[in-house]
Structure 1
């Protein structure tokens, strides 16, 4: 069964539910990438390959192009931030993931109340802002963001505020319950 079917049937076995509240109804999970544009590594590599081919007679230029490409590749890979966005009724839950496992979150970063649509800009990789962070989302997930925008416009503001308030109240109860839980 696919991930969206599992989400819509209420299956809470996905690792993202570890970071969500009990009353959260997740519409979709969207992987995103922060940092430089995802195609920047491709542009760097193609440019270096063209330079290497064109400078066959100049080995020192080839060596400098190869070392620059390796440095640029390492820089792009270390500056990338991988996120998983859980789109709920009223909020966007932002979780940190690893590069090779983009669907398995490892840390909860923030929970942001949605008050305005995403407004995707771009074609293959669309740019969105979640809080203060600029993220890139692949085209195959644009329809999920559009559906979330449609739900945001359709839902009355009081309903969105109520679900966010319910989450905060449940979270506060958990914190109060766990205060005395440590053994001395």
Structure 2
């Protein structure tokens, strides 16, 4: 029974496949987070807990600390943007995900041609720039980003833009086809 279950889940494609082109060869799927540093919530919680413990005799201070912590937590969570990056041969496919399901994309945001290395800044949570967005990537995925940078440096320039050129050509055809409106 266990083996049958494993085989069935292995046959399934990844949910990100619906946002990729037919010929795309995905080297890595990397979850990322935009907005404030991911440890911001931890810092807010530690400061609030220390303040609550230190002000045991002042309940009005504790109430204000708790309400401020709740407000700050909601603000940080609402400012966070969750992304899944599919690293293909020549492009980065950026997909939007939800906070509790970072591996299941819900929307295709953009497809960006890879012309520059990521240049990870930071150690635990490294910051990269994808398009015009700054994203935080966990250390666990830094190796995959380094491998993508190595492949980018090794690829000839004409191969780097082949996938992106095909995408732009298809996109232009769709725009021309839809110029007349929906109802003909």
What's the counterpart of residue 41 of structure 1? Answer: 41
Q: 1:86 to 1:12 in 2, by over 3 A?
A: farther
- The separation in 1 between residues aligned to 2:177 and 2:15, in whole angstroms, is 23
What's the counterpart of residue 3 of structure 2? Answer: none
> How much is the aligned-residue C-alpha RMSD, in angstroms?
2.2
Q: Indicate if the aligned counterparts of 1:30 and 1:141 stay in contact, CA closer than 8 A.
A: yes
Partner SS state of residue 33, structure 1: strand
What are the Cα deviations for residues 12-61 of structure 1, in whole angstroms up to 9, with x where unaligned?
81111111111111110000000000000000000000000001111111
Q: 1:136 to 1:13 in 2, by over 3 A?
A: same
What are the Cα deviations for residues 100-124 of structure 1, in whole angstroms up to 9, with x where unaligned?
1111111111111111100001111
- The separation in 1 between residues aligned to 2:53 and 2:46, in whole angstroms, is 11
Partner SS state of residue 102, structure 2: coil
Q: CA deviation at 1:171?
A: 4.5
Q: Which runs of 5+ in 2 are unaligned?
A: 1-5
Superposition pairs of residues 150-169 of structure 1, within 5 angstroms: 150-169=150-169
Q: Indicate if the aligned counterparts of 1:23 and 1:167 stay in contact, CA closer than 8 A.
A: no
What's the counterpart of residue 120 of structure 1? Answer: 120
Between 1:64-73 and 1:11-20, the stretch displaced more is 11-20
What's the counterpart of residue 54 of structure 2? Answer: 54
Q: 1:25 to 1:102 in 2, by over 3 A?
A: same
Between 1:171-180 and 1:44-53, the stretch displaced more is 171-180
- The separation in 2 between residues aligned to 1:175 and 1:18, in whole angstroms, is 21
Q: CA deviation at 1:174?
A: 6.1
- The separation in 2 between residues aligned to 1:50 and 1:161, in whole angstroms, is 53
Superposition pairs of residues 99-114 of structure 1, within 5 angstroms: 99-114=99-114
What are the Cα deviations for residues 124-156 of structure 1, in whole angstroms up to 9, with x where unaligned?
110000011000000100001000000000001
Q: Which runs of 5+ in 1 are unaligned?
A: none
Q: Indicate if the aligned counterparts of 1:21 and 1:171 stay in contact, CA closer than 8 A.
A: no
